Amino acid sequence: MGVSVLHPFWVLFLLCNPFVLLVSGLSSEGNVLLSFKSSIREDPEGSLSNWNASDPDPCSWNGITCKDGGVVSLSIPKKRLAGFLPSALGSLPSLRHVNLRNNRIFGRIPAGLFAAGGLQSLVLYGNSLYGSLPPEIGNLSYLQILDLSQNYLNGSIPESLIQCKRLKTLVLSHNNLTNSLPIGFGSSLVALEILDLSYNRFSGSIPSDIGNLSSLQGTVDLSHNLFSGLIPPSLGKLPEKVYIDLTYNNLSGPIPQNGALENRGPTAFIGNPGLCGPPLKNPCSSEVPSSNPFLPANFSPSGLVANNKTSGSGNSKGLSKNAVVAIVVSDVVGIGLIALVFFYCYWKATSFREKEESGNSKKGLKCRNDCICFRKDESETLSDNVEQCDLVPLDRHVSFDLDELLKASAFVLGKSGIGIVYKVVLEDGLTLAVRRLGEGGLQRFKEFQTEVEAIGKVRHPNIVTLRAYYWSVDEKLLVYDYIPNGSLSAAIHGKAGMMAFAPPLWDVRLKIMKGIAKGLAFLHEFSPKKYVHGDLKPNNVLLGLNMEPYISDFGLGRLANIAGGSPFLQSDRMSAEKTQTQQSDVSVSPFVSKGSCYQAPEALKTLKPSQKWDVYSYGVIMLEMISGRSPAVLLETLEMNLVRWVQFCIEEKKPLSDLLDPFLARELDREDEIIAALKIALTCVQANPERRPSMRNVMETLDRLTS
């Protein structure tokens, strides 16, 4: 019998780990797992504390799952493990699942890991892995889930990846991967259901066979890369329910109008200056319209001249004298008939108005300022200079009218340059929030009506619902659902004069972050007009009974501008019986509040808000919820805004406890989630708007943080 010789690696391993030499009963798989333990330099939560060499097998160890005596799963997520991945893990013959997400694993992904040919899921996102993805990954013919996002990987996707034909989830976002996607990407990975390649440096053209990925669901995210060339028409072959995000690449040419690409809003294509055609405003060169919109694009003046020369009797000297006289006479007769019709209609309208006013005076009915009462379906035929004598409902469940609203108890919630907000309690107990935009101003009713009814169509669990409105010279009222738990600002910092104050725990803060992200993503991509809020801040986020967040005041700046309300008013139609602490700071127009601590740096250069403004504002709100510090107060005391202060703490390598809200100090067991949220916030507040993620991307990333 020959003498077996130990591999030098194992000799070194045994010498460096003498406690293993004491074990004779531990299985070979247990020894492999101990090599993983020895590669971990920090285990602050003691996740591997019961990995004992004295055990006969590892099946009772934390994070280990066995089947038929073999190790099938290694799952230790979010435990702040710091170390590297040993190649020896690939020698576990039954290994099916590896989940080490949101730890501090660093170094390269070892090629030896892919010797575990039965591996079905490899989830390593949220670590510090670097280097390229080994080509040996093609050995994993059973692989279904590969999530390596939020690391520092670079290089190309190996061509061997297309051998993983069972792959359902491929998430490689937020890395530094480069070059083109492998040839055959779309033809081979037909089982893919989730694809996210965003925030890398992929280049080249989008594969023309990508339309073969017919099983895709949710968002196909190719945004924030360097993809160039034309958008392949095959993308339209994807299921129509799939949202395709191509923002911020170098794509050019016309946008195909077929299938999943048809009727998409411009938000899916922004950041590609070379793209043209619908839904973007810049037409392609072949789509330049005629200078006269009533003439066809191929209209030829020379053709008209030729037709004129060949038509008629051939007389080139022009019209005869008799023809000119006939034309003049017919014009005079026509003008006379039009005048008769006009005077007849005027006489009928005057008679009708006198009769109506006479009838109304007998009945004692009168609308002040000669306002015109009308139903919603009649308003489209009226001019802008009109008034309404009743409330216009935007929801079929609205059962109250203007008289009930004006007779109800009203409590002032807040005041600002735009107007006053009231809490109104009707006789039947229904509670509403009513915003008064003010008196006077331009009478642009139709414009106001169009805008307010579009806002009224927005329905989302994280957006305050507009239920009704009223317009007249003296009053412009907006009626909303009342949200009972005040503003997010008050929840984080308390209210003036508050004796007892208990800021929300991390679970609640994370819930609020997710809700705001969902509401903003809806406004940006799914609402009827794809809104930009433009003035998002904690005072504009209200909290419901269960601390669920509601975004308020979107579209308000536009409505206030149309209404032209006076900022400071002395008279109140709705008498205030009691002044309460402000529930929501009535936001000023985004075109006025350029100095806000929550607005993006580019707001100083342009008056037109963008979705990236909202992303920046959201990032500041996240930092405020994590740090517990008010941006305005911080700016007054340190002359440093919140974003710069957080960046300073990170640059100076200050401990996390210095950055956190002191009320979260007892929740350091959630440090992994807090750090992940902090990373998302810092991505949102990047100075370059093109490097900020979309709110859809933020929403989906936050959803992966489980509280």
Tokens of residue 565, six digits? 């309300």
The larger pLDDT score, comparing residue 619 to residue 437, is at: 619
CB atoms closer than 10 angstroms to residue 41? 11
User: Average pLDDT in the 552-563 region?
Assistant: 78
Catalytic status, residue 535: yes
Backbone torsions φ then ψ of 540, nearest 5 degrees: -100, 10
- The burial class, CB within 10 Å (0-12 / 13-18 / 19+), for 532 is buried
Higher pLDDT, 289 or 624: 624
Contacts of 370 (CB under 8 A, 6+ apart): none
524-545 pLDDT, tens per residue? 987 767 788 888 999 999 999 8
Beta bridge partners of 292: none
Q: How many residues does the chain have?
A: 707
Highest-pLDDT range among 335-344, 433-442, 444-453: 444-453
CA distance 555 to 532: 8
Does 602 score more than 60 pLDDT? yes
Please name the residue that has the structure tokens 């290694």. 74
pLDDT value at residue 569: 30
Q: Is residue 81 part of a domain?
A: no
- Rounded to an integer, what is the distance from CA 669 to the centroid of its chain? 29
pLDDT of residue 264: 66
Within-domain flag for 61: no
- Which of 551, 534, 533 is CA-nearest to residue 542? 551
DSSP states of 490-501:
HHHH--TT-S--
First to last CA, the chain: 58
Residue 49 has pLDDT above 70, yes or no: yes
Tell me if 127 is assigned to some domain: no
Q: Residue 319 falls within a domain, yes or no?
A: no
Determine contact, residues 681/622, Cβ cutoff 8 Å. Answer: yes
451 in a domain, yes or no? Answer: yes
Ranking 30-44, 102-116, 174-188, 299-313 by mean pLDDT, the lowest is 299-313
pLDDT, tens only, 215-263: 888 888 899 999 999 999 888 888 877 878 888 899 999 988 877 777 6
The pLDDT assigned to 580 comes to 31
Over residues 620-646, mean pLDDT: 83
SS in 3 state form for 264-328?
A: CCHHHCCCCCEEECCCCCCCCHHHCCCCCCCCCCCCCHHHHHHHHHHCCCCCCCCCCHHHHHHHH
Q: Which domain holds residue 613?
A: 392-587+594-703
User: Is 60 exceeded by the pLDDT of residue 357?
Assistant: no
- The rounded distance, in Å, linking the Cα atoms of 54 and 451 is 72
Instruction: Give the total number of structural domains in the chain.
Output: 1
* Mean confidence (pLDDT) of the chain: 76
Token pair, residue 336, equals: 């006379």
Integer Cα distance of 504 and 202 in angstroms:
41
Q: Residue 146 domain-assigned?
A: no
* Residue 378 falls inside a structural domain: no
**Residue among 43, 209, 481, 535 flagged as catalytic:** 535
Give the residue-averaged pLDDT of 22-46: 82
Q: Is residue 489 part of a domain?
A: yes
The CATH number covering residue 639 comes to: 1.10.510.10
- When pLDDT is averaged across residues 289-307 and rounded to a whole number, the result is 34
Q: How far apart are CA 72 and CA 33, in angstroms?
A: 12
Q: Does residue 281 have a pLDDT over 80? A: no
